Structure 1
Amino acid sequence: MDKVRWFFSLLSEMFPPSATFTEKDVPDVTGKVFLVTGGSSGVGLELCRILYHRGGRVIVAGRSEQAYNDAVTNIKANPAKDLKDFPKGSLEFLKLDLSNLTTIKPAAQELLAKVNRLDIAWYNAGVMTPPVGSKTAQGYELQWGTNVVAHFLLNRFLSPLQLKTAQSAPKGSVRTIWVSSSAHHFGPGPYGINFDDINYEHADKKPRSFTTYGQSKVGDVLCAYEYANLVSDKGILSLSLNPGNLKSNLQRHSGFILRHVIGRMLLYPPRLGGLTELYAGFAPEPAANKGFTYIIPWGRIGVLNKDVKIGLEQYDTGKKLWAILEKETDKYM
């Protein structure tokens, strides 16, 4: 039964029904502070567009200030759907290079120095299928180091502020969102993470980039799950999500057939992914769940890959990964 349920959930992630939670359903967020990593393009840009046009203070974290400036021009010139006449918020740039862990602490300190609350953090930035052998500045497989390790470290710095925010914020409103992907269904066996050699440093043959991408997206799920175990009783909701199969610069490393042929049939506009992330941030249903929630396009509670779920529930893979990442990131605190 679990296998059948999982299959139909995966099919539903690829061909979602229309969104029921959209821009017009976002509450007034004036005075609230949001962080979006990778908010200058793709789904992150669409999310920032909505948050800005609904009155939020939006911190856009990324490597390029020029890309941020281009995004600001785009956002201000093109209001979010149904929000044209709403009071505008603010947009601020936070320089952060997730492929280099030494940049995380200075960026976090800068953020903590200028805000006194953090209502929602979307760990949205990511790398998908770069050339095999690509690495971060610290030698991690690029997707693992960027998508998982760097966000984990950033969260270590930001968690105390979110816990403080939750003390006075409405119940269920403070959230940490670890953006995963349908690719989490295709991480390495048996439970999605190759714990014996996460960076495949000792493998006779390097795996395909999509395998290591899938592993990084499992890592995001595991971080969200374990963080929920740690903070759900302290007022923070920790969620993970698949934003959907979207047309974005994530596919820049993919081949021609995937980008131009299959992409036309299976990829959707980035705005819809923004609605998925919006649902994770503001919809009431996740707040009714105690602990971890996994969201699927375009804003529904979904089902994890069955093997990833078994690993979490029967073999404590979330706790295992959390301990590994804590030990590895201690030196950058």
Structure 2
Amino acid sequence: MSSFSQSFPPKPTFTQKDVPNLSGKVFLVTGGYSGVGLEVSRVLFHKGGRVIIAGRSEKSYSAAVEEIKGNCGDGLTVDVSTPGSLEFLFIDLSDLTSIKPSVETLLKDLNRLDVVWYNAGVMVPPAGSKTKQGYELQWGTNVVGHFLLHKLLCPLLTATAAGSEAGSVRAIFVSSLMHAYGPKPYGIDFDSTTIDSEKAKSIPIWTLYSQSKAADAILAAEYAKRAIDLAPTAEDGTKKNHVISISLNPGNLKTNLQRHSNTNKIKEFLINMILHPQSLGGLTELYAGLAPETADCNGGFVIPFGRKGSVASYLQKGMEKEDIGKKLWDILEEDVKSYV
């Protein structure tokens, strides 16, 4: 029933009209020049935010800027007195060496970061595809690259949260409905996640994708705990002003993420029956990142098109009984230590 509800969700209750004026706030969206990320960037810009779009194609970014400025989207009221701004940050998530230099340059000009969406992703690329460091491409891009980026941005997020309204600073890890179909028992086959793993060759490509999306959900839950520990303690002993960490399923959407999928015409027709406009996925991501009611969703999971949900039960069991979140976090810490 959960899968059915997420595949055929009700109409969104949090729309572009519910996004407040974002003047003075700073946002970062990986992959923010296409697909769902483009929809998120569009709303943030037209609501007055400073939007940093991270990706590896400045050409795609330039095309997105033209699209965003020329089309404010449905139902959006633009406050022309407080225009937003757009800027490009070169980051190739499939090459860990590209991430730190770009972030260091960015941080020289940045004194706050209100919300980051780890939105970019790769889905079912050609078999055998790898990152520059030799990880299976989906794992290396969707998980390892984003983990390194988050590690480098974490101090600024923590500092911003300390001086901001409680619950307003957030890290959003974009997962998928497919997170529920990762390897059993707990979503990740760690033998398939190492550099030049031979094990990955024997695992179906869709299972490898599901594994990467399970990891995104696990990392969000694990960071939720760690973010509280990192936050300064108030005089009353509480830690209200910490970063909120949320994962989500944006929905089954018509985006270019399916560009690698090989399906026949019948399968393509059937798949298109359950695909929704990418703008609705943007609303799911905006709900997770900006809606007041998700301020109490630390470590939680958001489902289409802007509802509180929960991760798959087997994943939850792994986090609670086997501390799978700590195991994953510790492994990734070791993986990226040479690139920090």
TM-score, scaled to structure 2:
0.93
2:329 is equivalent to residue 322 of structure 1: yes
**Counterparts of 2:299 and 2:292 in 1: how far apart (Å)?**
14
Aligned to 1:275: 283
AA partner of residue 85 (structure 1):
V
Q: Does 1:114 align with 2:121?
A: no
> Does structure 2 conserve the Cα–Cα contact (< 8 Å) formed by 1:149 and 1:325?
yes
Equivalent residue, structure 1, for 2:34? 41
1:75 paired to 2:71: no
* Matching of residues 254-293 of structure 1 within 5 Å: 254-257=261-264, 260-289=268-297, 291-293=298-300
Q: Does 1:101 align with 2:108?
A: no
- 2:121 is matched with which residue: 121, 126, 147? 126
Cα separation, 1, equivalents of 2:319 and 2:200 = 28
Aligned equivalent of 2:225 = 229
Structure 2 residue 185 is matched with structure 1 residue 177: no
Alpha-carbon distance between aligned partners in 1 of 2:264 and 2:64, rounded to the nearest angstrom: 28
Q: What is the CA–CA distance in structure 1 between the aligned matches of 2:214 and 2:303, rounded to whole Å?
A: 14
In structure 2, how many angstroms separate the alpha carbons of the residues matched to 1:309 and 1:162? 26
Shift of 1:193: 0.2
The 1-side partners of 2:264 and 2:228 are apart by 43
| Partner amino acid, structure 1, of 2:289 | G
Structure 1's unaligned 5+ residue stretches are: 1-7
Paired residue type of 1:40: Y
SS at match of 2:27: strand
Amino acid at match of 1:44: G
The one-letter code sitting in structure 1 at the alignment partner of 2:136 is E
Q: Are the aligned partners of 2:114 and 2:160 in contact in 1 as well (CA < 8 Å)?
A: yes
**RMSD value over aligned CA atoms?**
1.4
Question: Could you tell me how far 1:207 is from its partner in structure 2?
Answer: 1.5
- What residue in structure 2 maps to residue 149 of structure 1? 144
Tell me the SS of whatever aligns to 1:189.
Answer: coil
State the alpha-carbon separation in 2 of the partners of residues 197 and 254 from structure 1. 21
- The runs of 5 or more residues in structure 2 that have no matched partner are 232-241
| Residue type of the alignment partner of 2:255 | S
Which residue type is aligned with residue 271 of structure 2?
Answer: G
Q: Given residue 56 of structure 1, which amino acid in structure 2 is its aligned partner?
A: G
- 1:5-60 deviations in whole A, cap 9, x for unaligned? xxx22211111000000000011110000000000100000000000010000000
**What SS class does the counterpart of residue 253 from structure 2 fall into?**
coil
Q: Which amino acid aligns with 1:158?
A: L
SS at match of 1:97: coil
Is structure 2 residue 15 aligned with structure 1 residue 22?
yes
SS in 2 for 1:114: coil
The separation in 2 between residues aligned to 1:104 and 1:205, in whole angstroms, is: 27
Number of residues paired by the alignment?
325
> What is the DSSP-based 3-state SS (H/G/I as helix, E as strand, rest coil) of the residue aligned with 1:76?
helix
- Displacement of 1:263 in angstroms is 3.0
1:309 to 301, 316, 331: 316
Instruction: Tell me, in whole angstroms, the C-alpha distance in 2 between the residues paired with 1:205 and 1:294.
Output: 30
- So what's the TM-score if we normalise by structure 1? 0.95
